Amino acid sequence: MKLKVILAGCAGFILFVFSLTSALALTPVKVGVLKLSSTAPIFIGIDKGFFEAEGIKVEPVWFKAAQPIAVATASGDVDVGATGLTAGLYNSIAQGMKIAIVSDKGREWPGYKLTAIIVDTEQWKAGLRDLKDLKGKRVGVTQIGSTFHYILGNLLEKRGIPLSDVKVVPLGSVASMRDTVISHQIESAFLVQPHVTSVEMNRSANVLLWVGDHLPYQIAANFYSEKFMKNRSAAVSLMKGYIRSCRYYHDHALAKKEGPQFQEVLQIISKYTEEKPEAVALALPYIDRNGELYAEDIQKQLDWYHRNGMVSKKMSGSEMIDLSFWKEAMGQLGK
């Protein structure tokens, strides 16, 4: 009996040591993220162990807006940034910030609900139902030169309306954009999922339009810091885990919206965004199945920002895109 107890104790100790050794063998990677549905692959990769299977321990660092993530990535406070592509990011690169855009993190795409312009309920009742009705009105964005600012300018231009016809109001965060509209402090603002569905369900705001139906756009991406790029093995391993996560999200949440894996994805997104699964389910954003960047759209963004005086100099997208990590990871994973 004593021998059995001793053997059991030894087995338990060996298992503990093995687990500890495995944990220590993982490369820690700090990833700057927002609590949004478009961050789903990272959430999935953490919960499903896709990153750990590649030897990576992802440590999420939470932010409230996109630009601070870029700053933190450039300074080395985080290894990877996962957020929107802003004028601030492009300007920082123009001024010498050493980061590289490496993969897709979310697109505005026809038929998918990621970003909306929402309208105050009183303004809606008063007839604010179309882009042209925004003339002279305030539109909330996170920051000047943000993804939302870019979207607004492009949507208006497509309708022949100059950006100067509306009053762009920087509000600092996604939560502030939502709160100022539902509390009747501003006529309209941008909002992203899953928050849009939430305000629709409780009827605290109205959706003017969904961006993806009007403007296909690489709204967000993952980018690597200069230091992290030098650790090529870890950078490729992280990418492999990310691609596996994108495939899981695409196959079980976009391609097939039913079954236990679909419910599992909803629960994972809900856990990190703090939104109810049923709200998440109503509007899952488009992310490429292999996490491939919509690279040609980057140049279009750079040109618009420069034309509108938000980027200091004319740049080429090739200066800031590095698809080699993605290509190497794809080569190892196969299609």
293 and 157 co-located in one domain = no
97 and 142 co-located in one domain = no
pLDDT digits 0-9 by tens, 180-197:
999 999 999 999 888 898
231 and 328 co-located in one domain = yes
Domain that holds residue 47: 25-107+218-272+286-333
Q: What is the mean pLDDT of residues 282-310?
A: 94
C-alpha to C-alpha distance for 21 and 25, rounded to whole angstroms? 6
User: In this structure, is residue 2 part of a structural domain?
Assistant: no
CB atoms within 10 A of CB 157: 13
196 and 325 co-located in one domain = no
Q: What is the mean pLDDT of residues 18-42?
A: 81
185 and 48 co-located in one domain = no
203 and 223 co-located in one domain = no
Mean pLDDT of the chain: 91
C-alpha to C-alpha distance for 328 and 117, rounded to whole angstroms? 38
Q: Mark which of 196, 213, 230 sits at the end of a domain.
A: 213
So what's the pLDDT on residue 197? 87
User: In this structure, is residue 257 part of a structural domain?
Assistant: yes
201 and 264 co-located in one domain = no
Name the pLDDT band for 22 (thresholds 50, 70, 90).
very low
261 and 162 co-located in one domain = no
pLDDT digits 0-9 by tens, 107-137:
999 998 889 999 999 999 999 999 999 999 9
User: In this structure, is residue 278 part of a structural domain?
Assistant: no
| pLDDT of residue 151 exceeding 80 | yes
Structural domain count of the chain: 2
User: In this structure, is residue 321 part of a structural domain?
Assistant: yes
User: In this structure, is residue 17 part of a structural domain?
Assistant: no
98 and 226 co-located in one domain = yes
Q: Which residue has the higher pLDDT, 8 or 334?
A: 334
Domain CATH for 69: 3.40.190.10
So what's the pLDDT on residue 9? 59
pLDDT digits 0-9 by tens, 40-67:
999 999 999 999 999 999 999 999 877 7
Q: Mark which of 166, 192, 213 sits at the end of a domain.
A: 213
Q: Which residue has the higher pLDDT, 16 or 84?
A: 84
Q: Which single residue is written with the structure tokens 């009705």? A: 133
| pLDDT of residue 74 exceeding 90 | no
Say what percent of the chain tops pLDDT 90: 74
Q: Which residues contact 60 (CB under 8 A, 6 or more apart)?
A: 31, 33, 42, 46
